[in-house]
Amino acid sequence: HEHGHGHEHGHSKMELPDYKKWKIEGTPLETVQEKLAARGLRDPWGRNEAWRYMGGFANNVSFVGALLKGFKWGFAAFVVA
Task: Kindly report, residue by residue over 13-29, the tens digit of the pLDDT.
Answer: 656 656 556 555 556 66
**Residue ranges of the chain with pLDDT lower than 50?**
1-6, 8
pLDDT at 2: 47
pLDDT at 66: 65
pLDDT at 68: 64
CA-based nearest residue to 38, from 26, 50, 48: 50
Q: Dihedral of the CA atoms 70, 72, 74, 79 (nearest 10)?
A: 170
pLDDT at 4: 46
